[in-house]
Structure formats: C-alpha cells, structure tokens
Amino acid sequence: MKFWEIKAAANDNDVSELLIYGEIGEWADVSSADFARELKAITSKVIRVKINSGGGSVFTAQAILSGLKRHSAEIEIYIDGLAASAASVIAMAGKVIMPSNAMMMIHNPGTFTGGESKDFRKAADMLDKIRDTMMAAYSEKTGLDNERIIDIMDAETWLTADDAVELGFADEVEQGLKIAACLQDGQLVVNNQSFDVSKFNKIPSAWAKVPEPKPKQTEQPESSQSAGSQKPKIEKENDPMNLEKLKADHPELYAQVIELGKAEGEAEGVKAERSRIQSIEAMAMPGHDEIVAKAKFETGMTAEALAVEIVKAEKATKANFLNNRQSDASQLNGAADNGVLPTPAGADSKAEAEKEALERVTAAAKKGFNANRRKV
C-alpha cells in the first residue's frame, strides 16, 4: 500500500485531494517523480494537500513544492497531524489549515557523510545552500526575515497551530478536529502513522507521553438511584494497575498471574540448566572426570569456568610429568663417567660392556616414561 494518493473529493468534482502520509524521498513513500506524474493529470480548480509526515529528503520536498506552486489550481494545505522537517517545506505551497493540536516542526537540514576534512567542508557548504532554499520557502510564506527564520531553524522549533498562525507558517486553526498522538516504543505515533523519533532532537511534551486510560462507565447501585433515574455513573480510573492493586481488586486473577509466573520461571530454569550441562559435556576432556562431575552436579559452574579449571589441571599434570622425568633421570647419575660407560662384571669385552650399560639406561628411561604416562 502506498502512503500517498491523489483522488477527487467526494461530491465535489472541482476539488481533488492529495494525501502525503509517510516518508518523503525518491527511495521512500512519497517520490517527486510519481507525484509529478499524478499531479499533471489533475484538472480541478482546488487541490487539498493533506500532510501527516515526519519529513525526509529536502530535494524531493522542494520538487513537490515547485510542482504545486506551478499548478493552476488553488492549493489548500491541511496538516493531518504532523508536518515536520521536509514536510513543512511542502506545506508552504498554499493556504495552511491546522487542527488545534496538530504540529509543524522546522529545523536545519542534516546529512550523513564520511571521508577527509575536505569532504566534511564540502558537506557543510552543501547543507548551508540547502538551508538557503528552505529559508526562501519559509520567508515567502511568512514574510519573516532570514535572521528570524535561522533562529527558528537552529532551535528545532515545534509549532502548535496557534504558534504557526502567529508566525505566518499557517493561516487558520481548524476547530473541532483533534489529533491522536503519543510516544510508543521509540516511535512517535500520530493518527496511526509512526515516525522514527531518532532524527528529532526533541519531542513536544504534549506528545511524549502515553495517553491516560479512558473513563470507565459503571452503573450506580439501585439504592442510590432516584426513582425513574437510570443514568450511569462515570468513574475515572487514573491509577496505574500494578501487582498490589491487582491483588487487592482481583485476588483470583492475581493468584493466576503468580502461578503462571512460577511455571514460566521453572521452565526457563530447566531450559537454562539443560543448556549448561550440554555445554559442559561438549567441551569435557578425558582424564578430568572428577572436575566435570562436580561442575555438573555440585558447584553449578558454567562451561566457560570449567574450561579454565581444566586448563589449570592440564598445566599441573604436565608440570608433574616433567618433575617425575627429571627425578628418574637423576637415578641414572654416575652411570657414565666423562662419557665412558662402566664395565659390568662378567663382560668379555669393552663393546659388550658398553652395549649392556646402554640397555640398562634405555630400560630405566622407558620405565619412568610409562609410569608418568599412566598418571596423566
């Protein structure tokens, strides 16, 4: 579904309506190319432009503004909630009518850029030129001088209908039509149209709150009603609902909420514990069964903490292995003297003596290695 539309007003062939709802830009909801094509086909004497937009591209807005001003029809602008940023530029195309709690927001243009210092200077110069085109549109509509308009833009000014009329940005306050607006989950919602508030520096205090609950209608007790009177009694419930109020007013519902919370908490706990044990089993190493068992069933240790303990145990095991090997080697001290192996008793020759001594050294080394391997 597109957010803008041009159609003939009901029961009046001399009036066409143009709806600009949503973001303005060639890549967004309202593009100048589509707008120009549709606008060219309108032959009515009056065009009513209805705006509810948080803005967008100034270039697209300027193109739409120029197209409206060149058209032969009389242009009427209705702010159906919000005309902010670039949308306020489009509003300068004709007579502006605002409901009493609609808003118009005017600020300096902005952009995103990157690169070297020369790139930022170029971007700053471009923004100054864009601001000049916006000032020209505002000045032509309001008659205000550039210095006053710059002050309004620098302050990111949110104008009520009365403010806009006083400054010349609007011509008439429309009575009897109210705008529904509030802030919800980081989005400014105006007449069911959502706007991203991150591009605004501030939000009007009248809109930056959740609306109060509607009054609750209850019947009066029969004893308090006069004869023939059946008028209901209106009670306002402005106190927010919390657990204490829920417990006092609806104990059965409170009990159900508590039980539901316990059940959900237990389910989450079981899920978390299962995930912890699975993580431990996935990274457990042979030879550390005792540490792994304690982590699973005694200490409640996480898999990350267990990994640290296993690394410490591995270091200790390797240190013990080196110490034991050094101890075994020390037992062979004296087996050779200045590189000459001692001659064992009963040996027939020097070669046989050296061979027998070498075999004893090799056997002792293997014995020490195998003993340490079993410990690991």
Cα–Cα dist 34/241, whole Å: 49
Q: How far, rounded to the nearest angstrom, does the alpha carbon of residue 231 sit from its chain's CA centroid?
A: 48
pLDDT band at 329 (very low <50, low <70, confident <90, very high): low
pTM here?
Answer: 0.53
Lowest mean pLDDT among 33-37, 58-62, 138-142, 325-329: 325-329
Q: How far, CA to CA in Å, does 87 sit from each of 25, 91, 134?
A: 11, 6, 11
pLDDT tens, position by position, 269-321: 777 777 777 776 766 666 677 777 777 677 777 766 767 777 777 767 766 66
pLDDT in tens, 240-257: 566 676 677 777 766 766
- Judged on CB neighbours under 10 Å (0-12, 13-18, 19+), 137 is buried
Q: How far apart are CA 58 and CA 268, in angstroms?
A: 50
Q: Could you tell me how far CA 25 lies from the centroid of its own chain?
A: 23
Query: By the 8 A CB rule, do 86 and 105 touch?
Result: no
Q: What is the pLDDT of residue 369?
A: 47
The fraction of the chain above a pLDDT of 90, given in percent, is: 29
pLDDT digits (tens, 9 = 90+) for 194-211: 666 666 777 776 666 544
Can you read off the two tokens belonging to residue 353? Answer: 């003596």
Distance of CA 235 to the CA centre of its chain: 38
Helix ranges, 232-335 (H)? 243-249, 251-283, 289-297, 303-330
Residue 162 has pLDDT above 50, yes or no: yes
For 266-282, the pLDDT digits (tens) are 666 777 777 777 776 76
- Who wins on pLDDT, 143 or 191? 143
Residue located via tokens 């056997």: 363
Structure-model confidence comparison of residues 346 and 199, the more confident one: 199
Q: Is 156 exposed, middle or buried (0-12, 13-18, 19+ CB in 10 A)?
A: middle
CB 210 within 8 A of CB 182: yes
Q: How far is CA 257 from CA 190, 227, 251, in A?
A: 33, 42, 10
Inter-residue contact 209 to 182 (CB < 8 Å): yes
Tokens 């916006």 appear where? 134
The alpha carbon dihedral of 171, 173, 178, 183 has a sign of: positive
| Contacts by 7-15, CB closer than 8 A, 24 or more apart | 8/44, 9/48, 13/44, 14/44, 14/45, 14/46, 15/44, 15/45, 15/46, 15/47, 15/48
As a whole number, the mean pLDDT across the chain is 75
| Residue of higher predicted confidence among 225 and 197 | 197
